[in-house]
Amino acid sequence: MQTTDIGSKEDGKVWHRKPNPSVSNGIIASVRSNTHQNKTVRFLHVAFDTTGESFLAGDHHGNIYVFDIIRNRFRLVQKTGQACTALAFSLRRTTEFLVALADYSIKCFDKDTKQLVSWMRGHEGAVSSISVHSSGRYAITTSSDTAQLWDLDTFQRKRKLNIRQSVGIQRVFFLPLSNTIISCFNDGSIFAWESDTLFCKYQLSAPQDGPRIHYKAFAVTRDGKTLAAGGRANLLHLWCLESRQLMHVVQMPPRVRTVRQLEFVADSFDGGSSQVLGVLSQDGIMRFINIQSFKQLFEIGSIDNAITTLAICPKGRHIVAVMDSGALNIYSVQALTQEVNKPPQPLVKVVSQGSTSDSAGMLVKVRSGTVQRPRTSGRRVPAKVLRPTAGITGDEKENDLPGGLNKKRLLGLLKAFGEYPAKYRMFLWRSLLQLPENHAAFSSLVEKGVHPAFLTLQERYPIKSQKLQRGLQRLLSALAHWSAIFGETDYLPLVAFPFAKLFQNNPLICFEVVATVIVNWCQHWFEYFPNPPLNVLSLVENVLAHHDKELLQHLVDCRITSQLYVWPLLETLFSEVLTRDEWLRLFDNVFSNPPAFLLFAAAAYVTCCRAQLLALTFRDDFEYFFHHRNNFDIDGMIKEAYRLMEATPAEVHPRSALSDFEPLLRGQYPVFNKYPTFIVEYQSQERERIRQQEAQYLQERQALALLRAEAVRRQAEEEAWCAQQELLQQAETQRRHLLQQEEAKLAQQRSKLAAMKRELKLKELQLVDATRRRFLQHQQGQCRVQLQRLDDEIHRKMALRDQETAAAVQDIEVRQMELDAKRRLFEQQLAKEQVRVNQEVEVELGAHRHRAELEETAFRDMLHSVTDLAQDTKRVLEESLAEASLHEVDHDWQTEVLKRLERAGADQERQQQLLAQMTRETRAKEEELVKLMMDMEARKWEEVVSQQAQMEEAKRKKKEQSAVPLEALQEDHILQEGLHTGQQQYLRSHRQGEMHSEPREESLPSPCPTRDPGFRPRSAPTQSSDTPVSPCPTRDPGWRPRSPPTQPSDTPVSPCPTRDPGCRPRSAPTQPSDTPVCLNNQSPSESSTPFSLDRGRAALDCGERELMKEVMELRQKLARAKAGNSSTYSSSTISQ
């Protein structure tokens, strides 16, 4: 047993010489980890990967190692710094592994890059186990209180199993090849869950009649059909998960009191239903039993060297155990099972004479017809009746196979089903080929290493899988060491590749299968080496010529020989033209029939593709056809091969040229020399000569390199010696200087020591001072903290006050918004009232225009009636018309002024913020307006008086010229027109003053009774029909003035008595007939009334009083509006 110490290494070899495990213990190597102080670093846990070629191992220092058994290497991949509690190495990404650490976390690392991939947390206790799904995508971590399901693609937790504190979890794990999760609890209950939905599928109930086991350990076979459970007893429960029933209760030996761990050992030929179960008990011994025969097969470990935990390779080839001493022991399962797998001893024994002392234990009693074996294990072996040897025929002897199989029966089953069951195919092939399994002979061939002919195999035949590449190289090298011809055969890799891929996990079986195929089915292939076997090809061509001459003639016509349509099939053993399943089915039949069947299969392939081959004419097409897969029926091809083998006559049948099947010899492989040795030897000699020349060249080059290196070394030594002498001299000089410097330094140090004493005293004083200062600073800091606390309190109160102020401001703003809304509503009402006033003005202007038209019509009628009107009268009429047109122009100007006032009002709405100032300006403008109105009134009346004087003077002149009453009437009419013009100008100026003074106030009551709808004048006497209509503005058609009193001739007549509702003119005295009269004041009783200026003054006084009254009312309204606006402005100022 080899022992390797990896304490201070990060990589290296596991063993330094090829291990040779003994049958007694089966140990390949023992690995230890010791520190520099010879302290052992204990390994804690191990875990294999999915291939079984390498495993992880973690120690209690947190070091994680990867051991590669195939490459014989180990490597330190991670230093976690804390002990691991569980490992998992079977993830979907093969370079990653999971480590559960002592801090209850799970980390994922990459063994190649040594980087941390993910860090998973969530457990509150130590993780005891990690179970990975068969797909490698999910993992379940288990602790005593919970189990968690992780997604290894995102490293996120998907599910969490929480339980009561009184019921703990023993283990939760995935079943192989399924999505079922098995959970086992401390109370002995076992549940099966669906991993996707966590639906409970079933429960396994422990038997109630027997003793309680208290399950602690569990194991499942690779096919997920059998569950083994053990605990605090020497009993094991075997459950069938398909029927969900307890199959067996296995009682272990009395020395087993507690089961600590259970593991199944996989086998390549059991189809996943493992039959060997390993049981680790409390004494540290792992016992392996067969669960079918319930026999103990072997055991590992001992009481002195106990096993703590272990892991078994998924392929069942190696076992890695963590020992109680902290070391790792690597076991070979093949070495441990070598005694178990030995064939039983023959039942027939030969009795020989000899000393009784040597043969007394093995003595066999011979009885007629029966042979009995001695008792060896205490059990009674049932006697078997042996058939007489004379009754065994040659055919039966030939058809009998190892393991009690019969070749004829297998052939019948094969013809019935077309193939052997995949589960038993390898076993049947081993039985049909009668493989000897010569371990020693094969090991001697493998130990010779890689053959020189296959050193560059990877360059000629690159294979993606490194494992398969190494297996193929090992197989070809063993064949080349067995026989020299195989090192020179170019197509040998094509022959061996399908078997190497099929048996890559068992190199011994692979080698013996290929050797058996070469010895039996490749007979006479190497007689024409290095050319193809023309004799074998001619056999196939003869069969084809006998059964399908047309096809053969077509191939001959196309110059296609058997080297092109038969040899590609044989040299690759049909692996290029068949799929894996088709190839397996074909070789089920090949191995079950004589060696000639392979040649019939080649002929059958050609005949089955007859139609396709007849359609081909070019050589390249034929080459492509026989080197690529084609669509055809494999069952039809096999049936055709059987038909050809049965229908071929003896003179053409290949069996006449081929020998019968001969299995390999046991113990040693047969000598294979059926080939032209001189050619092979010549090539071998040439290759050896080239190799020797190359080796000699390499030796010479190496010697030359050594000479050069020696010369360089000597030159370097000489230079180093010279440099060393110089350095010695320099060192002597330097030492002298150093001594002087040391003396000077010593003096300096003494002075420094005294200075240091003084400095220490000063430092003490400084420390006392610094302590005092720190205390003062501490007090200051406390004061600052207190001040800061007060400042914070002040700031908090200020902030609170600011918040309250902001809330009050917001309330004021809301009130301001309400007041603004009320003000806009009030302005809207004012605008509506202004629109109403404008409409009344327009109605009044329309009425005035209508009356003017009526007056003009009457005047024109009067002009037509008076045909002898004088030229002066015409001139007066023209002036009246011009004045009427002037009135129309004034009306248009007034309309334009109204429009401009409306625009000014709109502009005034946008200047509401200056309402107080505008009020003061409005009051000043009112005073100016009153003054202006009074000035305009004075000027107008002055003009009226002057016009009256002129008219009186004109009347006097006319009286002098003519005393016709019509002229007086015309003059009176002209006077009335003048008065009417003055009255209109007064009213226009009065309206403009109203509009400019308060455009937004409500309409004032009209001083004229014609504007007031409620005014009802008294009835007046009807005028005479011949009296012309007065143009005076009696605005209401229903107004009738009273009969004015008779006044003297110099009293002015009121231009419009309707202006003053309370004004009642006194009765004027009766005037003579020649006195001019006012048409508006005429009554039926009086034909004419003298015109008086005093009456006009009275009317002006009355209008002035009315105007002053209106101005006072307007001022009152403005004062009220100003008071309301000032209160609104003050409230808005407060809110701001």
Q: Which residue has the tokens 């406390």?
A: 782
Local confidence band at 311 (pLDDT 50, 70, 90 cut-offs): very high
Q: How far apart are the first and last CA of the chain?
A: 101
H or E stretch covering 982: helix 965-997
- Sequence-distant (6+) residues with CB within 8 A of 396 are none
Q: What is the pLDDT of residue 1129?
A: 47
Q: What is the pLDDT of residue 259?
A: 92
Eight-state DSSP code of residue 33: -
pLDDT at 372 over 80: no
Beta pairing, strands 215-220 & 226-231:
antiparallel
pLDDT at 779 over 80: yes
Q: What is the pLDDT of residue 144?
A: 84
Range with the poorest average pLDDT among 198-207, 248-257, 895-904, 1010-1019? 1010-1019
Local confidence band at 367 (pLDDT 50, 70, 90 cut-offs): very low
Q: Is 538 exposed, middle or buried (0-12, 13-18, 19+ CB in 10 A)?
A: middle
Range with the poorest average pLDDT among 258-272, 664-678, 759-773? 664-678
Q: What is the pLDDT of residue 889?
A: 77
957 token code pair: 């002149």
Q: What is the pLDDT of residue 217?
A: 92
- Sequence-distant (6+) residues with CB within 8 A of 322 are 43, 44, 45, 46, 57, 307, 308, 309, 310, 328
Q: Which residue has the tokens 């875990």?
A: 47
Residue 225 corresponds to which amino acid? K
pLDDT at 1084 over 90: no
Who wins on pLDDT, 912 or 205? 205
Who wins on pLDDT, 390 or 285? 285
Q: What is the pLDDT of residue 1049?
A: 39
Helix, strand and coil content of the chain, in percent to the nearest 5, comes to 50, 15, 35
Q: What is the pLDDT of residue 57?
A: 93
Q: What is the pLDDT of residue 1023?
A: 40
Say if residues 195 and 138 touch (Cβ distance below 8 Å). Answer: yes
Who wins on pLDDT, 950 or 868? 950
Percent of the chain clearing pLDDT 90 (strictly above): 14
Local confidence band at 980 (pLDDT 50, 70, 90 cut-offs): low
pLDDT at 228 over 90: yes
Local confidence band at 98 (pLDDT 50, 70, 90 cut-offs): very high
pLDDT at 547 over 60: yes
Q: Is 472 exposed, middle or buried (0-12, 13-18, 19+ CB in 10 A)?
A: buried
Eight-state DSSP code of residue 89: -
Q: What is the pLDDT of residue 683?
A: 66
Model pLDDT for residues 147-165, shown as the tens digit of each residue: 999 988 888 888 888 776 6
**Degrees to nearest 5, angle at CA 1118 with 1115 and 1124:** 145
Q: What is the pLDDT of residue 86?
A: 93
H or E stretch covering 46: strand 43-48
Percent of the chain clearing pLDDT 70 (strictly above): 77
Residues 470-495 have a mean pLDDT of 87
Q: Put the strands of the sheet holding 307-312 in their side by side order.
A: 2-5, 27-32, 328-332, 318-323, 307-312
**Partners of residue 231 on adjacent β-strands:** 215
Q: What is the pLDDT of residue 343?
A: 55
Local confidence band at 200 (pLDDT 50, 70, 90 cut-offs): confident
Residues 1073-1087 have a mean pLDDT of 39
Model pLDDT for residues 8-66, shown as the tens digit of each residue: 788 888 888 878 787 778 888 899 888 777 788 889 999 999 888 899 999 988 899 99
Residue 53 corresponds to which amino acid? E
Which of 695-704, 918-927, 1093-1102 is the most confident on average?
Answer: 695-704
Residue 218 corresponds to which amino acid? F
Local confidence band at 1090 (pLDDT 50, 70, 90 cut-offs): very low
Who wins on pLDDT, 1095 or 306? 306
Range with the poorest average pLDDT among 87-101, 285-299, 811-825, 1045-1059? 1045-1059
Alpha-carbon span 155 to 490, nearest angstrom = 50
Residues 416-442 have a mean pLDDT of 87
Model pLDDT for residues 645-657, shown as the tens digit of each residue: 999 988 888 888 8
Backbone phi, then psi, for 117, in 5-degree steps? -90, -45
Alpha-carbon span 10 to 65, nearest angstrom = 9
pLDDT at 976 over 70: no
Q: pTM surpassing 0.95?
A: no
Model pLDDT for residues 580-602, shown as the tens digit of each residue: 899 999 999 998 899 999 999 99
Q: What is the pLDDT of residue 74?
A: 92
Model pLDDT for residues 396-414, shown as the tens digit of each residue: 455 666 656 777 888 888 8
Q: Is 607 exposed, middle or buried (0-12, 13-18, 19+ CB in 10 A)?
A: buried
Please state the length of the chain: 1136
Output the DSSP codes for 1059-1113.
Answer: G-TT--PPPBPPPPTTS---GGG--SS-S-----HHHHHHHHHHHHHHHHHHHHH
Alpha-carbon span 487 to 496, nearest angstrom = 13
Eight-state DSSP code of residue 204: E
CA-based torsion, 98, 100, 104, 110: positive or negative? negative
Residue 670 corresponds to which amino acid? P
Local confidence band at 989 (pLDDT 50, 70, 90 cut-offs): low
pLDDT at 518 over 80: yes
Range with the poorest average pLDDT among 107-116, 401-410, 651-660, 774-783? 401-410
The per-residue b/e assignment along 223-253, b for 16 or more CB within 10 angstroms, e otherwise, is bbbbbbbbbebbbbbbbebeeeebeeebebe
CA-based torsion, 116, 118, 123, 124: positive or negative? positive
pLDDT at 1076 over 60: no
**3-class DSSP state of 453:** helix
Beta strands in 163-300 (DSSP E): 169-174, 180-185, 190-194, 200-204, 215-220, 226-231, 235-240, 245-251, 259-265, 276-281, 286-290, 296-300
H or E stretch covering 354: none
The per-residue b/e assignment along 646-684, b for 16 or more CB within 10 angstroms, e otherwise, is eebeeeebbbeebeebebbeeeebeebebbeeeebeebb
Q: Give the mean pLDDT of the chain.
A: 78
Q: What is the pLDDT of residue 141?
A: 93
Residue 964 corresponds to which amino acid? V
Distances (CA, A) of 811 to 325, 895, 1064, 1128: 86, 46, 61, 16
Range with the poorest average pLDDT among 133-137, 383-387, 841-845? 383-387
Model pLDDT for residues 667-687, shown as the tens digit of each residue: 888 888 776 665 666 667 777
Q: What is the pLDDT of residue 280?
A: 93
Beta pairing, strands 180-185 & 366-367:
unpaired
Q: What is the pLDDT of residue 287?
A: 92
Residues 1007-1013 have a mean pLDDT of 38
Q: What is the pLDDT of residue 834?
A: 85
Say if residues 282 and 303 touch (Cβ distance below 8 Å). Answer: no
Alpha-carbon span 274 to 316, nearest angstrom = 10
